[in-house]
Amino acid sequence: MFLHVTQTDEVAEASASLLSDKLEYTVSGDILLTNTVYTAVYKKVFTINYFDTNGNLIDSVYLLDGASRSFVQDISENEESLTVPIDQDAFLKIFDSMEDNQLFKEWYWLQEDSSEVAWKDFYKEPAVDSMKNAGTRVMNLYPVILEATAKDSKGQNVTVVTQETINIVDGQEVITVNEPDIQFSFHLEESATVLEAYLNFPATDKTGNLISNKEWYAQPSLLIKVVQKTFKSGGIFKESNIDTTVKLYEDKAILSDGGGIAQVDAIKEQNIIALEGNTTVFYFSGLVTIEKKLTGSNEPFIFYITEYDDSTNSYSGEKHPVIVKAGSKATIELPCGYYSIIEDKAWAWKYQSSITQNGNPIAGETAEVVLSVGKNGSVKTKKDEQIGNIIVTPVEFCFTNERDTSKENWFNAYDYEKNVFNKVEP
């Protein structure tokens, strides 16, 4: 036989030794046969309810009248003092309920009159005292989350996945990251939310086929948007803009190290454009250098750098003409993307050319270049510590010409005459 004693709202006084302050206590049959008298003392119960983003109850915590606990506690781990949540089951469950691109920020207290109390205003206070001051014995806590979305320059969604760690404290890091296209971490600060992201795009060729074991982003722009969602019962939420600082890194190693050239867009910092306080657009570009080698001549030669067009699956996009004199170089800045480089043979009809990219020979008469950022990207930047400027290393192509012996008997490919006009006085 088992007797279950459960707390109710009634209060009864007794002068007995306390055996348990649990809401439920089991007395075995053997004890019931003794001469001892057992008295149940009833106290008021205060309830903390935790809800998920759909309005479902995920955890309830019951506190007796007079309990002094708040919502966090200090612990020591590896000789380091940490402040961690007491009701960890609720935190674990809300983390598990997050979508891939959502990050749990904090709870807030939705009171019976629909007024809202921010986490920072009550989490350090005794929970029972807070409820008494509000004239209630039930505290309903709903989640506040951060949601990140990203789009590439073509307006396509970019996958954003996060992995959370529980450490919900003012001013401390609350999120670390894992997989796949954009990986990022959030920091909560008094004045702003800081999102630090690094590129993790799988490399593709111009037709979109994956290139194994490579990571780069070969598009001219990337949009990252962060919003805050405050949920209520029934899954209803309000969306609000928040002051977000977005920092973009080339790869995880740079982010973790916290040094070096952090932002891949550092070539043109003025091109970071904040929109509506919660959207940041990054623009990416690279440099291409064309060198022309031809012994004994300073003739000009024309090259065309043509962008790859997805709609035609060919190099038929915008064409950029570049004029380079023999024995010299020309450098052009282009948005990240896929390009072909070809010499205008109608202009250089007397010559045969060979091509190298960064010193490596290229077969044929057309060179291809991928201007990309990221871990294996071709756009490389470094900071000049003396002058503080960002130095960009161009992708270099060298076109070396040799005379076609079958056309030796032709006149020069161009002639010019300098005309001088003297002013005639009346």
Residues in the chain: 426
Report which residue type is found at 266: A
Q: 285-407: which CATH topology? A: Immunoglobulin-like (2.60.40)
pLDDT at 179: 38
Q: What is the pLDDT of residues 242-300, one digit of tens each?
A: 777 777 766 555 444 443 333 444 333 333 444 555 677 888 888 999 999 887 778 88
Q: What is the pLDDT of residues 72-106, one digit of tens each?
A: 988 877 777 778 889 989 998 998 888 777 788 89
Mean pLDDT of 176-202: 55
Compute, in degrees rounded to 10, the torsion defined by CA atoms 387, 393, 394, 399: 110
Of the two residues 129 and 266, the one the predictor is more confident about is: 129
41: left (phi over 0), alpha (psi -120 to 50) or beta: beta
Cite the DSSP H helix spans in 172-331: 252-257
pTM (two decimals): 0.69
**H or E segment to which residue 18 belongs:** none
- Of 175, 173, 222, 227, the residue nearest 199 (C-alpha): 222
Report which residue type is found at 404: D
In the chain, list all ranges with CATH 2.60.40.10.
285-407
- Of 179, 174, 23, 195, the residue nearest 91 (C-alpha): 174
**H or E segment to which residue 56 belongs:** none
**DSSP 8-state symbol, 151:** E
pLDDT at 16: 47
Q: Is 270 helix (H, G, I), strand (E, B) or coil?
A: helix
Alpha carbons within 13 angstroms on the beta-carbon side of residue 310 total 8
